[in-house]
């Protein structure tokens, strides 16, 4: 039933409030199949709310959310099986080992023993966690913990992966490693939406959506956005601040 199959995820005029807090104020954005889309914005911008809506964990107050052309809240739709989610907060079992966490999530996803073993070997290989299978999750470094969360979210071979601040609290070297891992996934045909509060990570994405106080203030190729603002893509903070100023200036006028 997907009208535009090249669209992996889309929000159309989506609004969502929590009591008086307006988390999203009519946001429209689209993630194309096969790209790395960065949802960039400071704390409180609405990133997690957007991701929870995309994952079908929340209903919008109004507007439309589509995941591979389907409604992600439709419990009868198989589209949910195409989705992988790495939430912002720690979601692994700290007192289970790396191997036990993988097994636990494989059971949740209903993987056969054979499929699990094959997948486990692949995922331990790409995340380089193979030497740490006996280590408890709560004894992993920040970067290793995120890689394990990523491995758990990839067990069932999703087509679309949503990652909520995967690099937050991760040291710079592990951050780069994590990004390399993400590119490898996209190279295999996966679609990625990554949220981040770090402006410098915008340049790592094919396209970005800049979220500020529940509004999408810009969307596009980060290099193109930077060029339009006359700054280097590596200085993306300047783009963001300039857009915020323009927006607030417009409001004041």
Ligand X SMILES: Nc1ncnc2c1ncn2[C@@H]1O[C@H](COP(=O)(O)OP(=O)(O)O)[C@@H](O)[C@H]1O
Residue 45 binds which entry of Mg ion, ligand X, none, CB below 5-8 Å type-dependent: ligand X
- The maximal CA–CA distance of the chain, rounded, in angstroms, is 64
Minimum CB separation of residue 38 from Mg ion in Å reads 14
Minimum CB separation of residue 202 from ligand X in Å reads 15
Q: Tell me which residue of 152, 131, 150, 130 sits closest to 142, measured CA to CA.
A: 150
The window from 4-12, 81-89, 204-212, 239-247 that contacts Mg ion (CB under 5 A) reads 81-89
Distance CA 141, CA 59 (A): 34
Q: Would you give the end-to-end CA distance of the chain in angstroms?
A: 44
Beta carbon nearer to ligand X, 23 or 31: 23
What radius of gyration do the chain's Cα atoms show?
Answer: 18
Residue 21 binds which entry of Mg ion, ligand X, none, CB below 5-8 Å type-dependent: ligand X
Q: Where are the beta strands (DSSP E) in 142-241?
A: 160-164, 191-196, 207-212, 215-220
Minimum CB separation of residue 50 from ligand X in Å reads 7
Minimum CB separation of residue 23 from ligand X in Å reads 3
Residue 18 binds which entry of ligand X, Mg ion, none, CB below 5-8 Å type-dependent: ligand X
Site for ligand X in 114-153 (CB under 6 A): none
Place of tokens 């009591």: 19
Beta carbon nearer to Mg ion, 163 or 226: 163
Beta carbon nearer to ligand X, 45 or 68: 45
Q: Tell me which residue of 111, 174, 98, 185 sits closest to 137, measured CA to CA.
A: 98
Beta carbon nearer to Mg ion, 102 or 162: 162
How many residues lie near ligand X (CB under 6 A)?
11
Q: Which of 48, 97, 127, 196 binds Mg ion (CB under 5 A)?
A: 48
Distance CA 123, CA 152 (A): 9
Site for ligand X in 1-60 (CB under 6 A): 18, 21, 23, 41, 43-49
Q: Are strands 83-86 and 160-164 parallel, antiparallel or unpaired?
A: parallel
Distance CA 46, CA 52 (A): 10
Angle at 159 between CA 172 and CA 184, to 5 degrees: 35
Residue 29 binds which entry of ligand X, Mg ion, none, CB below 5-8 Å type-dependent: none
Minimum CB separation of residue 215 from ligand X in Å reads 11
Q: Which two tokens stand for residue 52?
A: 């929870």
| Residues binding Mg ion (CB under 5 A) | 47-48, 88
| Residues binding ligand X (CB under 6 A) | 18, 21, 23, 41, 43-49
């Amino acid at each position: 039933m997907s009208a535009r199959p090249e669209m992996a995820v889309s929000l159309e005029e989506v609004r969502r409030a929590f009591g008086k807090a307006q988390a999203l104020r009519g946001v429209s954005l689209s993630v194309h199949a096969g790209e790395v889309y960065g949802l960039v914005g400071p704390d409180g911008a609405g990133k997690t709310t957007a991701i929870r809506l995309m994952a079908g964990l929340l209903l919008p107050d109004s507007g439309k959310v589509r995941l591979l052309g389907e409604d992600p809240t439709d419990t009868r739709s198989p589209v949910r099986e195409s989705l992988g989610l790495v939430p912002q907060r720690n979601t692994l079992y700290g007192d289970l080992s790396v191997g036990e966490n993988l097994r636990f999530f494989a059971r949740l996803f209903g993987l056969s023993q054979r499929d699990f073993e094959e997948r486990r070997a692949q995922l331990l290989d790409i995340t380089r966690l193979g030497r740490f299978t006996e280590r408890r999750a709560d004894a992993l470094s920040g970067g290793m913990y995120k890689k394990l969360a990523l491995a758990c979210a990839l067990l069932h071979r999703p087509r679309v992966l949503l990652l909520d601040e995967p690099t937050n609290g991760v040291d710079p070297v592990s951050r780069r490693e994590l990004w390399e891992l993400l590119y490898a996934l996209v190279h295999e045909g996966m679609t990625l939406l990554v949220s981040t509060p770090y402006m410098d990570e915008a340049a790592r994405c094919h396209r970005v959506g800049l979220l500020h106080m529940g509004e999408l203030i810009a969307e596009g190729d980060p290099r193109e956005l930077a060029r339009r603002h006359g700054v280097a893509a590596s200085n993306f903070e300047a783009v963001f601040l300039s857009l915020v100023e323009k927006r607030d200036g417009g409001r004041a006028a």
